[in-house]
Amino acid sequence: MSMLLDAAQAQKTGRTVIAVDIAEMAVAADPALVLVTYSLGSCVGVSVFDPEAGVGGLIHCMLPLSKIDPRRAADRPAMFVDTGLPALLQAVYDLGANRRNLQLKAAGGGSPLGPDEIFKIGQRNLEVLGKVLWKNGLELRAQCVGGSQARTLALDLQSGRTVVRTDGKESEL
């Protein structure tokens, strides 16, 4: 599984790793790509894959609601769960994905500063994620959320596998 998260190993097998930074998203229909996002603490990462169309995407959202900064949300919708997730869904639909085939998986939404963290950003990110999914008639197939540890999330566009690394251990979602 480490091939998904190790750029050097991926390159040896003819794969290309695309890093999805904080407040960004990437979508593609290229089976040679692996999309990876790092350092998901309170941020939430979501992978989307349609195995029939061979289309997938990955997003790294920082904050739950765009109403705190509408101008920034217009410029960078992926920064916020409520604008980023709909943008990710639309982008994969534009590449040929079908809602009925989507496999969605999530990681992050934790409390890296501990359970007494005052703003509860991770928890709020997960709540908004659930609401956006519900409004779109979608649900997560798997998740690795909460806690205080940071996570790395990777989506293999060849197989549709989503892998999460937490505390140095990798597992498939």
pLDDT of residue 15: 84
Q: What is the pLDDT averaged over residues 77-92?
A: 97
Average pLDDT for 60-87: 94
Report pLDDT digits (tens) over 147-159. 989 999 999 999 9
How far lies 104's CA from each of 47, 115, 170, in Å?
6, 27, 18
pLDDT over threshold 80, residue 75 = yes
Contact by Cβ (8 Å): 94, 54: no
Mean pLDDT across 77-85: 97
Where are the domains positioned within the chain?
2-11+18-40+47-172
Going by C-alpha positions, the residue among 20, 17, 24 that lies closest to residue 37 is 20
Name the residue with higher pLDDT: 113 or 61: 61
pLDDT higher at 160 or 7:
160
What is the per-residue pLDDT for 117?
66
pLDDT for 3 equals 47
13 vs 10, which has greater pLDDT?
Answer: 13
Name the helix (H) or strand (E) containing 159: none
Residue 157 neighbours by CB under 8 Å, 6+ apart: 28, 29, 30, 31, 32, 33, 34, 35, 49, 54, 56
pLDDT at 10: 66
Question: Residue 68: pLDDT above 80?
Answer: yes
Q: Which two tokens stand for residue 8?
A: 């050097």
Q: Which residues are catalytic?
A: 43
Residue 9: pLDDT band with limits 50, 70, 90: low
**Region 1-19 average pLDDT:** 70
For the cut 70, the answer to whether the pLDDT of residue 11 exceeds it is no
**Number of residues in the chain:** 173
19: tokens are: 């890093």
The model carries a pTM of 0.91
Q: What is the mean pLDDT of residues 31-44?
A: 95
Which pLDDT value is given to residue 1?
A: 42
Q: Top-level CATH class of 2-11+18-40+47-172? A: alpha beta
| Phi and psi at residue 103, to the nearest 5° | -115, 115
* DSSP class per residue in 23-48: TEEEEE--TTEEEEEEEESSSEEEEE
CB-CB contact of 108 with 42 (8 Å): yes
Q: CA 50, CA 5: separation in Å to the nearest integer?
A: 21
**Token pair listed for 25:** 């998203």
Mean per-residue pLDDT of the chain: 91
